[in-house]
Structure 1
C-alpha cells in the first residue's frame, strides 16, 4: 500500500472495530489474532472481546505509525473475499456494506475484489447508512441493473419497501419515455412504444416470428407490471397495501430485467 492514509478518527475507528467484531460467520477470535500477527500489528489484549482487542491494537499501531495503513491492511486481509467462499454471496455483500458504512466517513470503500477505492466522504448518518440497508445488500447480491438504485436510493435507505417499489416502477416508465421520446404513462405508454404492428422501440431484430413473439410478450409483461404495481402504489394508501422485503426484492428484480432489455432496445421511427 504505497499511499499513506491519514489516521482514522477515534469514533470512526471504534465503529470499524465493532463492525468487524460483530462478524460471527467467517471471522473468529482466533482468526483475528492470526490476521493481526500476519499484518505485523501488536496485539496487546489477545483475550479481550473481538472488537476491544481490535480497538486496542489499532489505536496502538496508529499512534506509533501516525497513519492508518496497517489498519487498512488488516481489513483487506481479514475481509478478503477468498475467506468467505463457503458462504452465500449475500453474506459477504452484507459484510462489505457494514464495513463500508464507517469507512465512508474517511472517504474509503472496500470493493467486492477486496481492494480499496476512494469515494466521496459521508457527511451524515443518512449518507453512510445507505451502504448498509438489508434490501440494498440483497439487490447488490443479485447484481440488479444500476438504474434500480438510480431511481430509489432514498427509499432504500430507510427500507421503505412500498415507496421503493413505487419509485422503481416510475423509473421503468421514465426510461421508456426518454428512449421513445413519449410523454404518456403506464399501459398507454407501452402500447405506443411497443405497438406490435408499428413499434417505436424494439428489443430485438423484429423480423422473425420468434422476434415478434418476444416483443409482444415483453410489452404484455410491462403492461401487467404497471397495472399490478405502478397503479396500485400510486392510488392505494401504504397502510392498505403492505409490502414485505421479499415482495419488494422480487418486484425490483423484475424491473431489473426490464432495464436490461431496454439496454438492448433501439428506436426505429
Structure 2
C-alpha cells in the first residue's frame, strides 16, 4: 500500500474513531482490531467506544508504521465482506470515511480499496472563534458535526439544531423501518416494544 506517509490530524483520527465506534459494539471492536493485526487492543466493555478507538489510533500512528497502520484499519473497516446483507450501510461508511480521506488525496472505492484521487480537498483554515471552541469541546457525534458545525460557528444556531434533528430523524427512520416522522417516529421506534433500543432495558430506570 504505497500511498504516502502523511500523518493524519487528530481531528481526522477522531472522525475515523467515531465511525468505528458507531458501527461496532465493544466486543466487536476487539474482534475488529484482531482482524487488522492488532490483537493487543481489547475493549474493556466499559470505556466509551469511540474514545477507546481514538486512543488506539493515536498510539498506532505514533508507532513504527505510523499512517500505514491507520490506512490498514480503514481498509479493513471498508471491506465489503464486513457488510454481508447490508450494502446501504457499506455505502454510508465509505461515504463518511471518504469525507476524511479526501483531505489527504485518498479515497475508498466500493471494493474497499484505498486509492489516490486526482483532486485533494483543501483543509479549511477555521478561525478560532468562541463558537468554534464551544462546539469542539462538546465532542459531538460525527453526524452532528457533519450536519451542523458550519452553521453553528457562523451563528446560525437554530438551523444547526434543525439540520441535526433532520439527520437524526432520517437515521432512526432508516434503522427502524418505520415510515413516520418526528414525535410519532420516536415514540414507535424507541418505545419498550419498538425495534430500536438505547440500552439493555433491564432496570426500571432503563425502561423509562
TM-score, normalised on structure 1? Answer: 0.41
Q: Aligned-residue CA RMSD in angstroms?
A: 2.7
Task: Give the corresponding residue for 2:114.
Answer: 116
Which residue of the other structure, out of 86, 90, 112, is the alignment partner of 1:92?
Answer: 90
Distance 2:91 2:43 in 1: 30
Equivalent residue, structure 1, for 2:8: 8
Separation of aligned partners in 2, 1:77 and 1:18:
15
Higher helix share: 1
How far is 1:74 from its partner? 1.4
Q: Which runs of 5+ in 2 are unaligned?
A: 125-142, 148-162, 164-208
Number of aligned positions between the proteins: 125
Calculate the TM-score normalised by the size of structure 2: 0.52
In structure 2, the CA distance between the partners of 1:2 and 1:85, relative to structure 1 (3 Å rule), is same
Shift in Å, 1:52: 1.1
Secondary structure at 1:65 match in 2: coil
- Checking the alignment, whether the CA contact within 8 Å between 1:12 and 1:105 is kept in structure 2 is no
Larger Rg: 1
Deviations 1:195-218 (A, max 9, x none): xxxxxxxxxxxxxxxxxxxxxxxx
**What are the superposed Cα offsets for residues 132-186 of structure 1, whole Å, 9 maximum, x if unpaired?**
89xxxxxxxxxxxxxxxxxxxxxxxx9xxxxxxxxxxxxxxxxxxxxxxxxxxxx
Q: Per the alignment, do residues 84 and 44 of structure 1 end up closer, same or farther by CA in structure 2, a change over 3 Å counting?
A: closer
Q: Does 1:35 align with 2:29?
A: no
Match of 2:17 in 1: 17
Instruction: Evaluate the alpha carbon distance shift between residue 121 and residue 40 of structure 1 in structure 2; reply closer, same or farther with a 3 A threshold.
Output: same
Gaps of 5+ in 1: 134-157, 159-269
Query: 3-state DSSP class of the match of 2:101?
Result: helix
**1:49 Cα offset (Å):** 2.0
Aligned residue number for residue 56 of structure 2: 57
Larger RCO: 1 or 2 (CA < 8 Å, sep 6+):
1
**Closer, same or farther in 2 for the Cα pair 1:94/1:38, shift >3 Å?**
closer
Could you say what secondary structure the match of 2:107 adopts?
Answer: strand
Cα distance in 2, alignment partners of residues 124 and 70 from structure 1: 22
